[in-house]
C-alpha cells in the first residue's frame, strides 16, 4: 500500500487585477497563509471515501464512476475524474479535508480545495506531478466542468506559485508568473467580511464572463486584452462599461507594480480605490453590504479599499497605514508560500 500523503494549498488575495484573468489580462495576487489541507490514505478497492471535517460531512463513490453531484462533493469527484482523464492512475483512497480559509469569502477556498485534493491524489498515486501551470489548468477544469463556475486561472495559479513576501504579476495571455516584492513598510493589508456569502457558480459571475465574450465578438477580437478605450466606447451598454473596466484594470496592475517598487503606498491605495469604483460602477459586482465594508475601512483611514474575488459579496481588502486601527473583525493577510506536500 502507498504511504499516506498530506498536501496543503493556500487561498489567495488579489491585490489588484479583478475580472481580468478570463480576459487574458493582468493581475497581482498573492497566496495567503490560510489554506486547505488534504490527507490521503490508500484504501483497497476502487472507492473514494471523503471526509469534510469542517462540515462534518462525508462522501463515498466509485472512482471509476464519480457521477455528478452538487456542493463540496463536486470538487472531490471532479478532481478524481479530471486526474483520471489526465492519465493519473489513482488507487482507492480516504481523503480527510480540513481548512482555515473562510468559505465563500472571496479568498478562494475553492482553488485551495482543488489544488490540495489534486496534489494529495497525485502524491498518493506515486505518478509524476505535472508542471504548476498544467496543474492549475486541470484544477480550473474541475471548477468549470464539475462545479459549474466559469472561473479563470487566477486563483489556482496564485495558490500554486505563491511565495513568501511576494505578490505575483500574472500575464494571462502568456501565463508568465513574475514574483514582485510586497514590502509595505509598516502598512498592512487586511480583509474584512461583508457578511454576505457568495458562490461563483450561483452569482452573476458567469453572466459577466459571457458579456465579455459577446463584447469580443462584436469587436472581432480574440480577448479584451486587445481592446482599447476607443473600442470599448463603440460597444452597446452595458458591454461598453464591462470592457472599460478590463482595459483600465490591466493598466492599474502595471501601475500597482510601479507603486510597490517606489514604496508609494498613497499611490497604491489610490489604485485600489479606483479599482473598486470601476468594479462597482462599470462591472457592477458590488452590493450594499460590500459598500458598507469598504466604508468601514475608509473610516479608519485605509489608503485604499476594494472588493476582491468574484464579487457579489465576500470580503473586501484594505490597505491600512501604520498608525490606523483595523476595524473589528478585520484579518491581516500576508503573502505565504504556495501549495506543497507536507509531512
Ligand atoms: C474568482 C475567479 C477568478 C477571477 C476572480 C475575479 O475568484 O475564480 O478566476 O476571475 O473571481 O478576478
- In this prediction, residue 138 has a pLDDT band, given cuts at 50, 70 and 90, of very high
- In this prediction, residue 181 has a pLDDT band, given cuts at 50, 70 and 90, of very high
Mean predicted confidence (pLDDT) in 207-215: 96
> Is the model's pLDDT at 202 over the cut of 70?
no
Q: What is the pLDDT of residue 149?
A: 84
* Segment 9-48, tens digit of pLDDT: 999 999 999 999 999 999 999 999 999 999 999 999 999 9
Closest to 106 in 3D by CA, of 12, 19, 17, 210: 12
> Is the model's pLDDT at 160 over the cut of 70?
yes
Mean predicted confidence (pLDDT) in 208-232: 98
> Is the model's pLDDT at 132 over the cut of 70?
yes
> Is the model's pLDDT at 200 over the cut of 80?
no
With a 6 A CB cut-off, is 152 part of the ligand 1 pocket? yes
| Nearest ligand 1 atom to alpha carbon 22 | 10
With a 6 A CB cut-off, is 155 part of the ligand 1 pocket? yes
With a 6 A CB cut-off, is 18 part of the ligand 1 pocket? yes
- In this prediction, residue 77 has a pLDDT band, given cuts at 50, 70 and 90, of very high
Q: What is the pLDDT of residue 201?
A: 62
> Is the model's pLDDT at 108 over the cut of 90?
no
pTM: 0.95
Residues 6+ apart with CB under 8 A from 230: none
Q: How far is the CA of 322 from the centre of ligand 1 (A)?
A: 29
What gap in Å lies between CA 177 and CA 159, rounded to an integer?
A: 12
What gap in Å lies between CA 113 and CA 50, rounded to an integer?
A: 12
- In this prediction, residue 107 has a pLDDT band, given cuts at 50, 70 and 90, of confident
What gap in Å lies between CA 114 and CA 137, rounded to an integer?
A: 11
- Looking at every residue in the chain, the average pLDDT score rounds to 95
* Segment 234-255, tens digit of pLDDT: 999 999 999 999 999 999 999 9
- Per DSSP, the chain holds a count of helices (H) and strands (E) of 9, 13
* Segment 285-304, tens digit of pLDDT: 999 999 999 999 999 999 99
* Residue 94: φ, ψ to 5°: -105, 130
Residue 288 falls in which region: left (phi positive, over 0), alpha (psi -120 to 50) or beta:
alpha
DSSP 222: S
**What is the DSSP track for 259-303?**
HHHHT-HHHHHHHHHHHHHHHHHTS----HHHHHHHHHHHHTT-S
Q: What is the pLDDT of residue 176?
A: 98
Catalytic residues: 155
What gap in Å lies between CA 205 and CA 311, rounded to an integer?
A: 8
With a 6 A CB cut-off, is 154 part of the ligand 1 pocket? yes
Q: Which of 13, 310, 311, 312 to mutate to test the pocket of ligand 1 (most atoms within 8 A of CB)?
A: 310
| Nearest ligand 1 atom to alpha carbon 108 | 7
Helices (H), 142-238: 154-161, 205-219, 229-233
Helix (H) or strand (E) holding 58: strand 57-62
- In this prediction, residue 141 has a pLDDT band, given cuts at 50, 70 and 90, of very high
The helix/strand/coil state of 123 is helix
- In this prediction, residue 261 has a pLDDT band, given cuts at 50, 70 and 90, of very high
Distances (CA, A) of 334 to 8, 29, 33, 110, 246: 17, 11, 7, 19, 26
Helices (H), 126-197: 132-141, 154-161
Amino acid at each position: 500500500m502507498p504511504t499516506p500523503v498530506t498536501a496543503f494549498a493556500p487561498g489567495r488575495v488579489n491585490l489588484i487585477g479583478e475580472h481580468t484573468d478570463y480576459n487574458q489580462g493582468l493581475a497581482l495576487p498573492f497566496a495567503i497563509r490560510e489554506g486547505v489541507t488534504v490527507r490521503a490514505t490508500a484504501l483497497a478497492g476502487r472507492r473514494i471515501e471523503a471526509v469534510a471535517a469542517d462540515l462534518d460531512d462525508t462522501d463515498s463513490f466509485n472512482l471509476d464512476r464519480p457521477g455528478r453531484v452538487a456542493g463540496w462533493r463536486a470538487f472531490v469527484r471532479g478532481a478524481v475524474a479530471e486526474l483520471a482523464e489526465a492519465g493519473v492512475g489513482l488507487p482507492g483512497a480516504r481523503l480527510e479535508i480540513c481548512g482555515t480559509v473562510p468559505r465563500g469569502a472571496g479568498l478562494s477556498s475553492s482553488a485551495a480545495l482543488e489544488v490540495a485534493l489534486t496534489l494529495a491524489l497525485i502524491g498518493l498515486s506515486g505518478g509524476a506531478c505535472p508542471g504548476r501551470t498544467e496543474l492549475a489548468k486541470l484544477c480550473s477544469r474541475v471548477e468549470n466542468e464539475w462545479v459549474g463556475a466559469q472561473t479563470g486561472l487566477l486563483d489556482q495559479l496564485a495558490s500554486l506559485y505563491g511565495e513568501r513576501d511576494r505578490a505575483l504579476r500574472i500575464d494571462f495571455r502568456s501565463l508568465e508568473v513574475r514574483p514582485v516584492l510586497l514590502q509595505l513598510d509598516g502598512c498592512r493589508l487586511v480583509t474584512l467580511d461583508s457578511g454576505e456569502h457568495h458562490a461563483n457558480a450561483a452569482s452573476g459571475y458567469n453572466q459577466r464572463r459571457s458579456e465579455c465574450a459577446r463584447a469580443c465578438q462584436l469587436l472581432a477580437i480574440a480577448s479584451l486584452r486587445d481592446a482599447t478605450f476607443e473600442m470599448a466606447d463603440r460597444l452597446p451598454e452595458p458591454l461598453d462599461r464591462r470592457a472599460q473596466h478590463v482595459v483600465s484594470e490591466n493598466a492599474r496592475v502595471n501601475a500597482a507594480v510601479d507603486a510597490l517598487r517606489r514604496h508609494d503606498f498613497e499611490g497604491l491605495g489610490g489604485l485600489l480605490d479606483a479599482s473598486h469604483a470601476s468594479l462597482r460602477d462599470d462591472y457592477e459586482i458590488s452590493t450594499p453590504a460590500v459598500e458598507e465594508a469598504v466604508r468601514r475601512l475608509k473610516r479608519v483611514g485605509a489608503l485604499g479599499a476594494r472588493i476582491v474575488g468574484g464579487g457579489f459579496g465576500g470580503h473586501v481588502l484594505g490597505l491600512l497605514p501604520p498608525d490606523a486601527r483595523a476595524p473589528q473583525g478585520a484579518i491581516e493577510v500576508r503573502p505565504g508560500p504556495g501549495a506543497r506536500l507536507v509531512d
